[in-house]
Each structure stands twice: as C-alpha cells, then as structure tokens.
Amino acid sequence: MDLTVTAEAEARGKAARAFAAERLNDGLEERDRRGRHDDAEWRDRWRAAAEAGLLRLGLPEADGGDGSDLLAAAHVLHELGAACRDNGFLLALNAQLWTIIRPLAEFGSPAQKREILPRILSGEWIGADAVTELASGSDAMALATRAVRHGDGYVIDGEKAFIGMAPACDIALVFARTSEGGGPWGVSVFLVDVTLAGVHRDREIDKAGLRTIPTGFIAFEGVRVPGTARLGPEGAGSAIFARSSEWERQMIFAAHVGAMRRQLAACIAHARARVVFGKPIAQQQSVSNRLAEMRVRYETCLMMQRRAAWQMQTGTGDGADAAITKLYLSEAILASSLDAVRIMGGAGCLWDADAARDLRDAVGGVIYGGTSDIQRNIIAAHQDRGGFGA
Ligand SMILES: Cc1cc2nc3c(=O)[nH]c(=O)nc-3n(C[C@H](O)[C@H](O)[C@H](O)COP(=O)(O)OP(=O)(O)OC[C@H]3O[C@@H](n4cnc5c(N)ncnc54)[C@H](O)[C@@H]3O)c2cc1C
C-alpha cells in the first residue's frame, strides 16, 4: 500500500485550504442558527466549490473528472476540512461526490452521463440521494415507494425522509420498488427531475446538528418518468445501493478527518493558554491525556481513511472494510468532539462555539450511511462467512 501524497496533490491541498478559509466559514454561526437554507446563498457557495474543482475530485477524466487518484482526492478533502468549520457543507460536498457523482459515473447510460453528469460537475445542478423512508430506516431496501410501469415509463408514488440536499436539489436518485416478489432485487433507481408534476419537497427538517446541509422530505405523487430515467437495469437498485454505500462509507469522512486536525489544534492552543489553579490546563494530566487520545484517534483515522482511498482506487477492499472504516471514523469523530467540549469547559458548551457545533454535527455521523450497529452487523456477518481467518 503506497500512501504517498504527490507534490501536485500537496499544492491542490493548499489551494483547498485557502478556498475554505476564504469562502466557507463566513456567516457560519448565522447559518447554523437559522437551520433553514437560503437557496441563492447556498448555490453561490456551491458553484464556488465547483469552480474550485472540488466536485471533479478523483473522478476519471473520461467522466469529466480531474483524473487525480483517490489518495490525492482524500488529501485535498482533508486539507479542505482542516480549514473549514462548516461540517454541513463538507457533508454536502462529500455526499455529492460519493453518492451522486459516483453512481452516475458507474451506472449511468451514455445519455445520462452526457446530459446530467456535466451539469452536476459544473455545480449547475445538485443531486440528492433518496433512499430512506420513515418506516424502512436501517432496513434500507424495505421500501414502500413504488415505481409502476406505465407505457414506456414509470409512475412513482411514495415518500422519502431525511434526504440530504432535498430542499435544494435539482435531481434526485430515487430508490423504488419495481417488483413485488423480488425482495431486494425488486428495487430500481430513478433519476427524477424534481420540477416534475407530483414532486413535493417543501418539508425541510430542523436537525440538531449538521444544520447547514439542507435536509428534508421528498414526496412523489403519481410522478411520471420516462424509461430513460432509470439508472442501470430494472432490479439493480440493491446492487447500486451496495456500491454507493461502499463509496460513502470509505470516503465520506475524508474532509471530516481534516476537521479533526483543526479541532485538535484548537484544543491544544486552548489548553496551553487557559490557566486555572495557577498553571495551564495542558499541564493537568487528565487534560493532556485527553489531548493525547485525540491525537491517536486523529492519526488512526487519517491512516484508515487513506487506506480506504487506496482500497477504492485499487479495488482491494473486502466485504467488511467499508463498514470498518465508517464505524471507526464516525465513532472516533464523535468521541473527539465530546473530548473537545470537555477541554473547552463552559466556553465549549455555548451554542455558537466550534466545539459545541462540532459535537452536534458529529452525532449524525454515527447514523447516516447506516448506523454503527448496522456496520457492526456487516462486520460480524462477514466474519461468520469465514471472511477473516488466522
Ligand atoms: C444527518 C443525516 C443525514 C441523512 N442523509 C440521508 C440521505 O441523504 N439520504 C438518505 O436516504 N438517508 C439519509 N439519512 C437517513 C439515514 O440513512 C437513516 O437515519 C439511518 O439509516 C437509520 O435509519 P432510522 O433513522 O430509521 O433508524 P432506525 O432504523 O429506526 O434505527 C434506530 C436504532 O435501532 C438500531 N437498529 C435498527 N436495526 C438494527 C439491527 N438490525 N441491528 C442492530 N441495531 C439495529 C439502529 O442502529 C439505531 O440505533 C440521513 C440521516 C441523518 C441523521
């Protein structure tokens, strides 16, 4: 495994840091308090990110990407995260890269890749990954949403919940049941233009954390889509979900690992400056031990995420690796965020404090993309099948 970061990736990482510092942090406290998105403001920031090349990261040139490898992409995202305090924006960007752009590049028809992908890569359109329903939750493919054949196309009925970017999106990847008897193989995916009649997405969700990524419901009421809106073959929904989940679980925290670095640096600075009992709290062993634990978590997450990028680049991961990456990174980010609040003391408990926001934001990480319990189930099932031996 070669985890070397090239000079070119280093330079791009520096540019990503500068972009984050200049464009992503201003007004964060206000956006976080508001918790409802402002479309014009959102699109402005999104287009700037697209212009900075962030939506083309790690994608082959043939698909309109920058042709860099995934280790380079992971490094650039890490640097972006190290300078960006807006975790909701980082999630939005990463979700777009791994759960919208990748499935489109891997499963899209030539026409879909010609007509939709370039618009997403340029930042003109935003996609939403619409899997979850209120009743299905962790049993992700137990869908009530139906797509029934009608002439050359389909009619979609159902409602999706907790969908990141739903209130701000132009197109949604909608997972719907197309066959009653097929179990998980009866699910298909559709690229649905959200301006079509019967699409409703007026319910934005007021989350406790990650408040700067617009999130909400999307309802489909007799929505007619052409057959050409289907992504991949009929019945391929489960396979597309599995592949998209692999991308998501291996890569979605690339920027958040960078945010761990920012968080640790702020905690070290605070612990050295804050004097109680006549000396800096960094000299109290309980505090210095906590800082050391945060460092170990950060370094471990960095190595794991780079290994994940390497595995995706080389196709070498096994059936448990994505779950291991997702479980460890999300729990480590949550644990370090709680440690950061402890180190900051009362100041870290204020609503607008970075430490408090990071903690609120970290909670969602152990839920989206499959909860930690679900990742443990996947790892245990892989071992039960003999996937890990002496
Ligand atoms: C911030 C955020 C962003 C999201 N973005 C998206 C998005 O863009 N698109 C999308 O489709 N969805 C999205 N989701 C939804 C997310 O994928 C689901 O919330 C998640 O899969 C869990 O489903 P649930 O909330 O219904 O919990 P439930 O399935 O009800 O789970 C509740 C609890 O039961 C446990 N549990 C359930 N089944 C098992 C089991 N078999 N074994 C052990 N424990 C179990 C869970 O681990 C959890 O602790 C998002 C969620 C959040 C919080």
Per-residue pLDDT tens for 237-261?
999 999 999 999 999 999 999 999 9
Separation between Cα atoms, residue 241 and residue 369, nearest integer Å: 11
Pocket test for ligand 1, best of 93, 101, 138, 359 (most atoms within 8 A of CB): 138
Average pLDDT over residues 352-371: 98
Measured by CA distance, the residue closest to atom 41 of ligand 1 is 374
Q: pLDDT class for 390, splitting at 50, 70, 90? A: confident
Measured by CA distance, the residue closest to atom 51 of ligand 1 is 368
Give Cβ neighbours of residue 54 (< 8 Å, ≥ 6 apart).
Answer: 16, 19, 76, 80, 93
Q: pLDDT class for 231, splitting at 50, 70, 90? A: very high
Clarify whether 248 is annotated catalytic: yes
In the chain, the percentage of residues whose pLDDT exceeds 90 is: 96
298 in ligand 1 pocket by Cβ < 6 Å?
A: no
Q: Are 382 and 319 in contact, with CB atoms under 8 Å apart?
A: yes
In the chain, the percentage of residues whose pLDDT exceeds 70 is: 100
**Ligand 1 atom nearest to 128, measured from its CA:** 8
214 in ligand 1 pocket by Cβ < 6 Å?
A: no
The 8-class DSSP code of residue 283 comes to: G
Average pLDDT, the chain: 97
- Centre of ligand 1 to C-alpha 136, Å, is 9
57 in ligand 1 pocket by Cβ < 6 Å?
A: no
116 in ligand 1 pocket by Cβ < 6 Å?
A: no
- 54-60, long-range: CB within 8 Å, 24+ apart, which pairs? 54/16, 54/19, 54/80, 54/93, 55/93, 55/96, 55/97, 55/101, 55/120, 55/121, 55/122, 55/123, 56/121, 57/97, 58/97, 59/101, 59/102, 59/105, 59/121, 60/105
- Write the pLDDT tens digit of every residue in 278-315: 999 999 999 999 999 999 999 999 999 999 999 999 99
Average pLDDT over residues 89-117: 98
Strand segments (E) across the chain:
127-130, 146-150, 153-164, 171-177, 187-193, 199-200, 215-226, 230-231, 275-276, 279-280
Q: What pLDDT was estimated at residue 272?
A: 98
The predicted model scores a pTM of: 0.98
Question: What domains lie within the chain, and their CATH numbers?
Answer: 7-121 (1.10.540.10), 127-235 (2.40.110.10), 240-384 (1.20.140.10)
364 in ligand 1 pocket by Cβ < 6 Å?
A: yes
The length of the chain in residues reads 390
174 in ligand 1 pocket by Cβ < 6 Å?
A: no
Q: What pLDDT was estimated at residue 29?
A: 98
Average pLDDT over residues 263-271: 98
For residue 326, pLDDT over 80 is answered with: yes
Pocket test for ligand 1, best of 37, 98, 101, 132 (most atoms within 8 A of CB): 132
Separation between Cα atoms, residue 204 and residue 37, nearest integer Å: 9
Average pLDDT over residues 43-54: 98
Please provide residue 343's backbone torsions phi and psi, each rounded to the nearest 5 degrees: -70, -35
For residue 100, pLDDT over 80 is answered with: yes
Q: pLDDT class for 10, splitting at 50, 70, 90? A: very high
Select which of 248, 293, 299, 331 is catalytic: 248
- Centre of ligand 1 to C-alpha 164, Å, is 13
- Write the pLDDT tens digit of every residue in 105-146: 999 999 999 999 999 999 999 999 999 999 999 999 999 999
Q: Which helix (H) or strand (E) holds 77?
A: helix 70-83
Average pLDDT over residues 320-341: 98
Q: What pLDDT was estimated at residue 2?
A: 85
For residue 181, pLDDT over 90 is answered with: no
